[in-house]
Structure formats: structure tokens, C-alpha cells
Structure 1
């Protein structure tokens, strides 16, 4: 069993919890309130900026030219595709994720993005890579699950569904998992345990991210 297969099996209960979350359920059947979806996309735009930096940091530390090039390409490709989707939904509604009046990232967004960036900078490269995998795999699996239900071309969140159920995204996920699996093969059992912990932590953050948007999480005021 490869590391990515083992890790996905390890977080099965969290994936089930993600599918059962009211945010994801509403996204699937189209009943998710538009303002909640917009709030999520704004937070996701902030997250993607840090996610791109995380991948770029890992590319710089990879120590292997092919892996460095692949990670750098993934950083640019993933962030650009998703930001275009954000702009298509948000800008017509007067919401600019890069504007001076954009909502600041939620505490959960800050915690998740900061954890990935810290691991990319200070943890072993294979541990940092394990931490970025759930953002790929969870979205692919959720996208597929929703696409199987949401067959109406006029679904209000069709662009989101199509983005994450697209074969091109599937290929990107497979590449990222392949890089990590190769590093895991050469890792010690102790290091592999660290990788699994990073993967599980990031998957838990994925649930928290959607939950934060659903709850309308904000920073406290004095």
C-alpha cells in the first residue's frame, strides 16, 4: 500500500464527516445560501495565496530538480485555476478578494494556512508534502461525490463542481500523491508517522474550513 493510499484510509472518518457537513450537503443539492458560499470563496482566496507560497517553499527545498519543477508548476496551475473561479463568482457581486475592503481571513484559515507554511519551511520536505495532499485529495473526492448527485446543468454552483471533478484536477492530484509516495518509500518508519500526522491534521482542517464558513466565523472584538 502506498503512503497516499494508507493516509486516505487513515482519515476515512473525517472524509465521511466532511460529506455529512451541512455546508457540503447544501453545496451538493444547491440549497447552500449564496452569502455563505461567497464567504467561503473569500476565505478560500486568502488560503490559496498561502497555499501557493507553501508549494513554492517546498519546491525551493525539494533538492531534486524534477520535483522542484513539478511543485512550482503545481503552485502556479492550482492557484490560477481556482482564483479565476473565485473572480467569476465574486466580482459580479461586488466582492473582490484582493480589494482593500475584503474580509480578512478567518482564524481557521489563518491556522490552516500558517500550519502548512510552517511545515513547508521547517519540517522535512516529505512531511510538508504530506500536509498539502489533503487539499488535493479531499476536493477531488468531494467534487466527484457532488458531481454524481448534481446533474442539473443549471446548478447554482456548477463552476465549483466542474472544477473539482475535472479529469485535469484528478491528474494533478495523482502527480502530487506520486511525488509524496516516492519520498515516503525512502523514509524511516518514524518519518512516515510524522507524514501521516501531517496528513491527518490537514484533513481535519479541511472540515474546519467549511465549518468556519458555515458558522460565519469571525475574529473577536475587544
Structure 2
């Protein structure tokens, strides 16, 4: 199993990510509200670019069957984003102004830049390998904290969404796509897929750390 091999090589970091103080405090309800809001705003930024990278994978797909599968992935993400925007964010207390005034944090900017780089210079296999940790880590997080029962209802609601059977099935499908691509890859492409996957795992840890510390740029960065 190629995916298992990719993950096994970064096993310690995978566990460190699942046990990051951000995740643990989310699970027990002690996470600072400001850190939670910060995370949601940055995650929304990240997912908007994640969707665009999925669009690139549609173009890269070698068959119409694969392209159709990635279109379904893109549509599911769009529906999930819409649901968050219309229902979850307003209940949490985030407003359209919060999103319009949001600036990407360094880690969110660098993570999305990594995904674009993999999609622009890699293959279909490299692109979906780079995308996979985002799916797979959250699926494992949902399972790991399934019985934790956060004292903060909104935190628990978010955790429940990752252990939901539909989400778990989406992750399994993404793993199968990566397995299929890896099985047909030559040695160079397989190495690039592994590298893309490993960098994304590093960035997943950094993303939680970014949110926990409410990371900002040290200099003056203006976005247009």
C-alpha cells in the first residue's frame, strides 16, 4: 500500500499533528475562542485555494473517468463550503466583514503555495498526493477524538463532521485514487508523490500551530 508507506515514513509527525495542543484543546473544549475564529477564517482561505487545485487536477486527469471523479470531489467541497458559509459561520458569530477583512497568515499562504506548485509542475498523481493529507489527517482526527465530547458545542460539531460516514468514505476514495496513480508511476514520479505528501503533512502540523498561536507576518505585508 503506497499511501500506508507514505504515511508510515512520517508517522511521528502524523501523531504529533493529531496531538497538537490546538487539536487537544478543541477536543476538550478549552481552546481559546479567538484561536478558533482565527482557524476558521484561515481554513476558509485555504479551502478556497484547495478547490482551485482540485480544478487543476481535473485537467491533469488522464481519463474522463478520473476527471469525473475529481469534479465530484470539487462539487462536494463547494457544497461543504456553502454550508459552512450559510449556516455554521453565522451561528459561531463570524460575519461577512470578518471574511472580507481577513488576511492570509504566513502558513496558510505557504501551504496553498505548495499545493499550487505541485499542481503546476507535477502530474495528476503528484497533485492528489499533495491534497491527500488534508483529507486523511482530519479523518484520523475524527476517529481519534470520537469519544472525547468537547465541552464547547461548536468544537464538537466540527469534530463530528470528520467522523461522519460520508466524510470517511470520501477519504477512502481519495486514498484509492492516490494508490491507483502510485501503482502506475515510475520511480521519479513516485518519489515526487511521496515528497508532495510529506510536505503537506508538515504543513498540516504548521497550520494547527499557526491557529493556536494566531500567527501573523512579522513585517508589513499588504494584500490586494
TM over 0.5: yes
Tell me which of the two structures has the higher relative contact order, counting C-alpha pairs closer than 8 angstroms and 6 or more residues apart: 2
CA distance in 1, matches of 2:99, 2:110: 22
Distance 1:193 1:99, change over 3 A: closer
1:187 aligns with 2:158: no
C-alpha contact 1:58 1:129 (8 A) present in aligned 2:
yes
Which residue in 2 is equivalent to 1:215? Answer: 213
Q: Give the CA deviation at 1:105.
A: 1.0
5+ residue gaps in structure 1?
none
CA distance in 2, matches of 1:3, 1:38: 36
Alignment of 1:86-165 (within 5 A): 87-92=86-91, 93-96=93-96, 99-101=99-101, 103-150=102-149, 155-165=153-163
CA distance in 1, matches of 2:13, 2:85: 26
Which residue in 1 is equivalent to 2:49? Answer: 50
- The runs of at least 4 consecutive aligned structure 1 residues that moved more than 2 Å come to 82-92, 94-101
Distance 1:218 1:127, change over 3 A: same
Deviating more after overlay: 181-190 vs 74-83: 74-83
> Alignment partner of 2:126: what SS?
helix
Deviations 1:117-171 (A, max 9, x none): 221122122111111010110010011111132277x634122112111110111
Deviating more after overlay: 57-66 vs 84-93: 84-93
Which residue in 2 is equivalent to 1:167? Answer: 165
5+ residue gaps in structure 2?
none
C-alpha contact 1:58 1:121 (8 A) present in aligned 2:
no
C-alpha contact 1:47 1:113 (8 A) present in aligned 2:
yes
1:74 aligns with 2:73: yes
1:22 aligns with 2:24: no
TM-score (norm 2): 0.91
